[in-house]
Each structure stands twice: as structure tokens, then as C-alpha cells.
Structure 1
Amino acid sequence: MEKLKYQTEINASAEKVWDVLWNENTYTQWTHFFSPGSVMQTDWEVGGKTLFTDASRKNGMVSTIERIEEPKHLIFKHLGEIHDGVEDVTSDKVKSWNGSLEAYYLEENDGKTTLKIEIDSDENFKDMFDNGFQKGLEIIKKLSEK
């Protein structure tokens, strides 16, 4: 696993950036570059259940919240995948990456927020994450600065 890091400066409060990241309407906009129509369903509980799915809600990832302090950080631990509506957290395929983390850090200073994202990734997904987060961060910045 490699830790990929992304960062941007946003002329908005951490609360505004947080809302853009996790609001149902704006989440689908910035995650479009990973999977059009992406949906996040969560109970917002540490150790609870979070699902990241495609528009059909039949394929995606099973995760949990490792740590959360709104609006400063949110760290997901990925546990497995969903394929054709079936959750898999035990196969050899998912065991190679389950437990990987995806972290969002927001640091506000004088009304500007630095958004840092760190994600554990297999090298096979590096290009997808680079493309998705680079384009996604542009959307997050644009929506937050409105």
C-alpha cells in the first residue's frame, strides 16, 4: 500500500468545506470523477456502517468511520466491497486492502481552509485516485467558494 496525498487551499470556512464534502447534493458532484452518481450512506457513528456506492447502489465499498471531529477531520476505514448488492468483507480479494484508510483533514486559518486528503492505495488504483481527487478538489473548491 502507498499513501497518496492531495491538498488544496479554499477561500471558505471549514464548516462550509465540510458541508460541500458530505452534503448529499454536493457529494455526488465532486465524486463524479470516481463514479458518476456516487452515493455515500452513513450512520455517522465511529465503528458504524458507511457505504460508498455507484448510482445503482449495487456496487461499491463497505467502510466504517474510524475517527470524526466535525469540521476538522473524518477518517474512514475500508472493510470490503459490494458487488451486485452483496457485501464482501472476508474474501482473499478484499483482505489484501481491508483496513486501508481514507482521511480528510480541514485546517482553517483567517477564513481560509486547507483541505488535505490522504488515502491508502494499491498501486493499481493510483491513476484513478490521482485523476478523481485532482478534479474533485477543483469542484470542492468551486462549490465552497460560492
Structure 2
Amino acid sequence: MVTLSHSIDIKAPAKKIWDVLWNSDSYSEWTQFFSEGSQYRSDWEVDGRTYFMDKSGRNGMVSTIDSLRIPYEVVFKHLGLLQDGVEDTKSREVMEWSGAQEKYFLTEFEGFTKLVGEVQTSEMHEEHMRGAFEKGFEVVKQIAEKG
């Protein structure tokens, strides 16, 4: 596992950036670089369930929220896979990376907000994830800084 971190300064308040990150329409827009048509469903509860899914809504990742401080922090812990609508949190393949975290932090300063994303991923996915965060956060910035 490698931990990747990407940050960007955005001229907007944390609340506006939070809304861009987690509103279903803009979420699909900025996460297109991870997987076209990405969507998520969450109960927004610590220890609850969050699903990060492909455009079919039947495949993706099963996660929980470890830490939540709206609009400044959310830490997801990935528990397993969603495959054809069925949760897998016990297979050998899943157990190799289960517990990996994905974190988002927003810190306001002097009219800007620093958005930091950190993710634990396999070396095999490192290059893809690095590029997706870079392009995705640029989209977040463009949306948040509009009018």
C-alpha cells in the first residue's frame, strides 16, 4: 500500500467546496477521472455504510465513515467490494486491502480553502489515482470558484 496526497487551494469557503465534493451531480463530474459515471450513496453516519459505485450502481466499494466533521473533514475506511450488487468484505482479495483509508480535509485561510485528499492504494493503482486526484480537484476548484 502507498499513501497518496493531493492538495489544491480554492478561492471559496469550505462549505461551498464540501457541497461540490458531495452533491450527487458535481460528485459525478469531479470523480469521472476515477471511473466514468461514478456515484455514491451514504448514510453520512460514523460507522454507517457508504457505497462508492460505478455508473451501474451495482459495482464498487463498500466503506464506512471513521471520522466526520462537516464541512472540514471526512475519513472513509474501505471495507470491501460491491460486485453485481453483493457485498464482499471477507474474501482473501478484499482482506489484502480492507481498512485502507480515503480522507478529505478542508482548511480555510485568508479567503481560500486548502482541500487535501489522501488515499491508501496499491502500487498498481498509484499512477491512475494520482492523475485522477489532480484532474478531479481541478474540476472541484472550477465549480467552487464560479459565481
Scaled to the shorter chain, the TM-score interval is over 0.9
Partner secondary structure for residue 66 of structure 1? strand
Matches within 5 A, 1:82-97: 82-97=82-97
Matches within 5 A, 1:1-146: 1-146=1-146
Structure-2 separation of matches of 1:93 and 1:65: 22
Structure-2 separation of matches of 1:139 and 1:48: 28
Deviations 1:22-52 (A, max 9, x none): 0111000000011111111000000000000
User: Is there any run of 5+ residues in structure 1 with no aligned partner, and where?
Assistant: none
TM-score, normalised with respect to structure 1: 0.98
Structure-2 separation of matches of 1:45 and 1:7: 25
Residue type of the alignment partner of 2:7? Q
Deviations 1:72-105 (A, max 9, x none): 1000000000112211000000000000000000
Task: Kindly report structure 1 stretches of 4+ aligned residues shifted beyond 2 Å.
Answer: none
Task: Provide the identity percentage.
Answer: 46
Q: CA deviation at 1:131?
A: 1.4
Structure-1 separation of matches of 2:41 and 2:84: 17
Partner secondary structure for residue 40 of structure 2? strand
Q: CA deviation at 1:110?
A: 2.0
TM-score, normalised with respect to structure 2: 0.97
Residue type of the alignment partner of 1:103? K
User: Is there any run of 5+ residues in structure 2 with no aligned partner, and where?
Assistant: none
